[in-house]
Structure 1
């Protein structure tokens, strides 16, 4: 298998998102998007015991035109939305929401967060929707850890959770309108594995922690993201320390992207329409 080379390495700087510190490797001034992926936020925090869960986290806000995806690593996320969905996804699970024509949702710690250690760690990834699906009806998919296929390689030293897409003979449960491969990977120190990636997919690797050696590039520490070139069929990784990785790959949309806050469309006119529709209540109302 020919190894993909690294286009660039990005450090996940800490930014303030409405009072919540998050690490954001992209977008940056250098990399606006990794088509079809628009944004990645990595958030880890201790929830104070005095905090009221249903008043913590992120309150009601709208989205249109893309899929906000939340990978839950510690604790849980309580999702509510204007379409009546009310669900808690716990550690190891993923919530995939296709915002489509518009939805209002909130993401807060679950009521039992302190019983689970009081920590919350998540990655939120914005995945663009193609023009033909931007105005579809919204869809919310809660995928719990126990419903996510897990492959164990190298004698159990490499664990691969397949969230969406085809990985060998294993298919991820979440279906997407364009081909996406989402792998949640844990590697023990000293293990090596080669991950196949479809040649026409754009791809990146984000390290939540630990350290790896990327074949042909060198060592990479946690909180860094590797943008890969489309010049090979996969990537070979050796864990220098115990490491958690998010490997994402997807067929690029090659469509114009115009965004404003929580709306991602193809033209400025569509953004203006999204703002009007939200103000008029056409995306629904969420009363918690």
Structure 2
């Protein structure tokens, strides 16, 4: 079995949104996307004081892709124009398929704004192929206790979607995406296989990793070469996001909140949104 090695390492560039600490490894210099993995915002880690304004993501539209949010610390309130509402706590996830069009809001619940506390969130965008870009919107919110975990000699793999070592993720991906986050003790290793022909995503949120002969520090994205497997070793306690997906051999045209296959489809998305066909999302107070 051939092992993947690191071909390049990309820092997450600092791009704060108001008082929200934000780092973005992709898109960035030298990396527009990692196959189907289009975008990652790493918010925090930071501690909000009491009587804060909370997260700033009021109602906004999306079409043509999926958003996956990992809540490492803090809480996140979601509402959307398809009628979904939830408050997800630390250790939980949100998986939203924008599909043909949705308006959603992701804000801090009232209790967090009143009391403050630690906050760290990872927001990932995953592409959809043309055949699914106009699929019906859907939303899945899962608390920490609903995320299956697999222990492996000093590593804990939190399975969001896909299968690994007999465990099955909390969400059934429309496109067969494997996604999870992994907490690794210092000196421990974890191996992922069945990667032939897949786009592989690896981002270090905490600590430092040794991957295929290279050190990958905190707040860095590693791009990997071809191969059937990859072994990741923590040189200190670490947490990383790992995913893989089948390539989507189609044009990517992204503009603001929409990701389609052509400029004309982007124009149509704006026209449909302005015409009100995406609906309305109200911010929940809870």
> Which band: TM-score by shorter chain?
over 0.9
The change in CA–CA distance for 1:131 and 1:118 in structure 2 (over 3 A counts) is: same
Return the TM-score normalized by structure 2: 0.93
CA contact (8 A) 1:197 1:235 kept: no
* Deviation, structure 1 residue 173: 2.2
Show CA shifts across 1:34-67 (max 9, x none): 11011111001322312245xx431110000000
Q: For structure 2, which runs of at least 5 residues remain unmatched after alignment? A: none
List structure 1 segments (4+ residues) > 3 angstroms apart after TM superposition.
16-21, 114-117
Aligned residue for 2:51? 50
Aligned residue for 2:83? 84
Show CA shifts across 1:181-200 (max 9, x none): 11210001121222224212
Alignment match of 1:285 (pick from 262, 269, 280)? 280
Aligned residue for 2:169? 172
Aligned residue for 1:31? 31
Aligned residue for 1:244? 239
Q: What is the distance in 2 between the residues matched to 1:281 and 1:46?
A: 37
* CA RMSD, Structure 1 to Structure 2 (Å): 1.7
Q: What is the distance in 1 between the residues matched to 2:113 and 2:19?
A: 21
Aligned residue for 1:211? 208
CA contact (8 A) 1:11 1:25 kept: yes
Q: What is the distance in 1 between the residues matched to 2:282 and 2:264?
A: 29
For structure 1, which segment, 43-52 or 264-273, has the greater mean C-alpha deviation from structure 2 after superposition? Answer: 43-52
Q: What is the distance in 1 between the residues matched to 2:282 and 2:156?
A: 40
Return the TM-score normalized by structure 1: 0.93
CA contact (8 A) 2:150 2:165 kept: no
Indicate the SS of the match to 1:113: helix
Q: For structure 1, which runs of at least 5 residues remain unmatched after alignment? A: none
CA contact (8 A) 2:105 2:282 kept: no
Q: What is the distance in 2 between the residues matched to 1:180 and 1:151?
A: 18
Aligned residue for 2:217? 221
CA contact (8 A) 2:51 2:113 kept: no
Show CA shifts across 1:65-100 (max 9, x none): 000110110011100111111101111111000000
Q: What is the distance in 2 between the residues matched to 1:192 and 1:28?
A: 29
Give the alignment of 1:67-146 within 5 angstroms: 67-113=66-112, 118-146=117-145
